[in-house]
Amino acid sequence: MRKHGAVIYLTAPVAVLQERLIGQTSFPPGGGGEANRPSLTGGNCAAEFYAVMQQREPLYQAAAHYSIDATALPDNIVEAILLFCKISFIKVCCTMQ
């Protein structure tokens, strides 16, 4: 991923992510899918989610060029992404000269 573009990791505490998944009434969001996300292992969803995130978090961080707090207001998240894109574009342009 890093070789072919910029990777932005939207971070949030596991508890926040779990809340968001519990509040999600359909998959994919917006309807048309299953009523709830299924467990990957058939076990306790909360424990499973925590274990999966513990494994994946270092991988997500390693892949990311930039991390943004996804618990911020949506407008602030968008501003941070746009700022990162502008900075990245400037860096690319400067190295091409």
The pTM score is 0.71
| Residue (of 72, 83, 76) closest to 11 by Cα position | 72
**Which residues on neighbouring strands pair with residue 69, listed in sequence order?**
11
| Cβ contacts of 19-22, under 8 Å, gap ≥ 24 | 21/49
**Predicted pLDDT at 10:** 95
Please write the tens of the pLDDT for every residue from 57-83. 999 999 999 999 999 999 999 999 999
